[in-house]
Amino acid sequence: MEPIWLSIKLAIITTIFLLFIGIPIAYWLSRKQSIFKLIIEAFITMPLVLPPSVLGFYLLLAFSPNNAFGIWLHRHFDLQLVFSFKGLILASVIYSLPFMVSPIKAAFAHLPGSMSEASYVMGKSKIQTFFYVLLPNIKPSVFTAAVLTFAHTLGEFGVVLMIGGNIPGETKVASIAIYDAVETMDYSSANSYALILFAITFVIVIGVFVLNRNAVKSPFE
């Protein structure tokens, strides 16, 4: 069961990181438009459309212990990001970023402008308005985004394969373990991993639908 636990651990850590990074980015993107923001948003969205191998390839190059950046990370932070769990976390954070940012950004943008104006007029700062008015009113979207990020990270395969490899207990997550088991004709292991992954993901998706049953739109729009 080690690969399943590793997948869950990776998904939880990635989701927590992305909550802290994604919410401020989403808020910033939902404010006034600019060319610069458009470009940043395009970069954030790229993992949605690119094959994971592209991202994995560039991360592999960037973090390679043979490259300047990789050497620098290793020397100053003792960080070895290729073929390590830490590297998987970083890759997952980049790879799942659009799943966290897009729904939250849309939710911020849908709040009427007068809502924050009403708070400013009452003498409240932008930060106070953010925490007392804006964020509480998009809670369902934040929750949906977190759950989708979790599920998406759980199902990650290509990026992990590229930069994580297949080290038991370190980078051998469930999706890789399935692939590995099929390669070695161990269909019963593959089946048990696949079934568990299927069950977990199914429950998560059902949960999202139940929580959003009052919403007009599907949470995946």
Measured from the CB atom, the residue of 120 and 209 that comes closer to another protein is: 120
CA–CA dist 16, 95 (Å, integer): 14
# of chain residues touching another protein (CB under 8 A): 17
**Region 125-164 residues binding another protein, contact defined as CB under 8 A:** 125, 132-133, 136-137, 139
CA–CA dist 37, 31 (Å, integer): 10
CA–CA dist 56, 156 (Å, integer): 11
213 touches another protein (CB under 8 A): no
106 touches another protein (CB under 8 A): no
* Contact region with another protein (CB under 8 A), list: 34-42, 77-85, 110-118, 149-157: 110-118
Structure tokens at 211: 């929580």
* Contact region with another protein (CB under 8 A), list: 50-58, 123-131, 175-183, 191-199: 123-131
- How far is CA 85 from its chain centroid? 15
SS3 string, 36-56, reads HHHHHHHHHHHHHHCCHHHHH
CA–CA dist 35, 125 (Å, integer): 27
Question: Which amino acid is it at 161?
Answer: L
Closest C-alpha to 98, from 142, 42, 157, 151: 42
Q: Which of 34, 35, 75, 123 binds another protein (CB under 8 A)?
A: 123
Q: How far is the CB of 24 from another protein (least distance, A)?
A: 20
Measured from the CB atom, the residue of 137 and 192 that comes closer to another protein is: 137
Q: How far is the CB of 153 from another protein (least distance, A)?
A: 29
Measured from the CB atom, the residue of 109 and 118 that comes closer to another protein is: 118
Question: Which residues make up the interface to another protein (CB under 8 A)?
Answer: 112, 114-115, 117-125, 132-133, 136-137, 139
